[in-house]
Structure 1
Amino acid sequence: MADPDFASPRMERVLDTAADLLVRWGYQRVTIDDVARHAGIGKGTVYLHFHNKEALFLTVLLRAQHQVVASTAERMAADPEQLLPSRLVSSLYRVLSEDPLARALYLGDAEVLGRLAHEAADTLGALVGRRQEVLTEHLRLLHAAGCLRSDLRPEALLYMLSAIGAGFFFVGGMPGGTPDLDVETRTDLLERAIAATIEVPDPPAVELERLAPVVAELYRSLIEDIDHEVRRRVR
């Protein structure tokens, strides 16, 4: 969490514990009592921060989304090639392969999220819309800079990017996937597929360097929206 007003060690412990139990047991089975017991605190302490179970676990999901988006912005600021859609999606694929909570969030895992997926629809749905707006503007900037195919509009490129990504994320499942292909191999194949489909052969490095701070700031603006939703749910 980025804001010190709600990033106390005690709250982090509560959120870490809730995240672990959510992945291991699923939303339907976990109770506030379970979270408090495993975090080594009283149930009343959890209620000092959260009105109810839904608010607690929505905050867990929002924190996971914050972390994914923040790491994306940091990678872009440090390495302009991370602006390329092939690098963006392959990096996300690797993150989801390693982080079961982020994977459940981004893939809408009903076994883990259960009823929470429906309870979170309004909140996370709005953020998904914002994420699509940011990605669309990201692609528009790359398109105008000559980094993507010129024969298709940015909206068509976004459709192709989403279709390829969905295929890799869902076909064969994660994290196991196709038995004879490990995560690194599948990540490399995903990157190659996107690069060959929507990017130009040699994206101009000077344009990527110029756009890196601009696009990174787009993703940071999304972090602000995520944190605003957290503040609505934390006492």
Structure 2
Amino acid sequence: MVDGEQRRDALLDAATGVLLSRGYDKLTMVDVAEAAGLSRTIVYRHFASKRELVDAVAARALRGYAVRWRTALSEEPRPGTPGSIYRAGFRVVAADPLLTAIATRDPQVFGRYLRDPEATMPGPAGPEFLGLFLRRQQEAGVVRPGVDIASVAAVLEALTAAIMRAVQEHQGRPGSPSPDALIDTVTEMIDRMLTPPDVDTEAALALLDGVLDAGAGTPAQA
């Protein structure tokens, strides 16, 4: 027998597909019910409105992002530097159409949802989370002292969206850098700006794990 949590997951899976293919403005609860093979009544038992449904879609995607981000970081050549942490997160987002749409606030996907004052969707690593994490890194000696953390957090969030848009718009054009070259360059810039000469990368990874384990590191909760 299918329990309530399985039905909820099925609805979120269906809503993700409909959202990406049709966009928020054209999405209906009937569409989601049909895509999930369930009744509209069941959809409304779990979600009171379309906005609440998309809130839940984004929140689930961002919880999964935090786990995949930590896994991707372990594959970095020098995991634990600010640049490697940024690059690992960027690559996870860039590989997922929904996370990319969240990061760029794609109007074709989210439409009127972006103007809804009650919508709760954060970014994959919004300035609040980045600010928290960078401050903790600075306290642990992983980020250089004297760096204006609030400014860096705002710049990195804006930079992430701009890079993703550039990749989408210019990929394949003659003379355009590859996505990998682009993010490698940004990673180097971040490390030159933020990383001390003798950074303790083990301390950085322990700090990241602590933030994620505490729940404050999941961007959906930041």
- Is it true that 1:174 corresponds to 2:168 in the alignment? yes
Q: Alignment partner for residue 193 of structure 2, among 181, 189, 197?
A: 197
**Residue equivalent to 1:95:** 92
Structure 2 unaligned spans of 5+: none
Amino acid at match of 1:152: V
**2:76, 2:84 within 8 Å by CA — same for their partners in 1?**
no
**2:105, 2:114 within 8 Å by CA — same for their partners in 1?**
yes
Structure 1 residue 90 displacement after superposition: 1.3
Q: 1:178 to 1:29 in 2, by over 3 A?
A: same
Q: Quick check: which one's helix share is greater?
A: 1
Distance 1:166 1:33 in 2: 32
Structure 1 unaligned spans of 5+: 230-235
- Is it true that 1:140 corresponds to 2:132 in the alignment? no
TM-score by length of 2: 0.78
Structure 1 residue 86 displacement after superposition: 0.9
**1:161, 1:198 within 8 Å by CA — same for their partners in 2?**
no
Amino acid at match of 2:206: P
Q: Alignment partner for residue 49 of structure 2, among 35, 52, 58?
A: 52
The superposition leaves residues 57-77 of structure 1 with CA deviations (integer Å, 9 ceiling, x where unpaired) of 111111112111233355568
1:148-163 mapped onto 2 (5 Å cutoff)? 148-150=143-145, 152-158=147-153, 161-162=156-157
Distance 2:105 2:25 in 1: 15
**Residue equivalent to 2:62:** 65
Q: 1:193 to 1:78 in 2, by over 3 A?
A: closer
The superposition leaves residues 77-134 of structure 1 with CA deviations (integer Å, 9 ceiling, x where unpaired) of 898954422112212221222111111111111111001112266523xx56x95344
RMSD: 3.3
TM-score by length of 1: 0.74
1:1-235 mapped onto 2 (5 Å cutoff)? 8-73=5-70, 82-119=79-116, 123-124=120-121, 131-150=126-145, 152-158=147-153, 161-162=156-157, 164-170=159-165, 172-174=166-168, 177=171, 179=173, 180-200=176-196, 202-204=197-199, 207-220=200-213, 221-222=215-216, 226=220
Distance 1:203 1:157 in 2: 21
Structure 1 residue 32 displacement after superposition: 0.8
Q: Identical aligned pairs, as a percentage? A: 23
| Matched positions, count | 216
Relative CO higher for 1 or 2, CA cutoff 8 Å, sep ≥ 6? 1
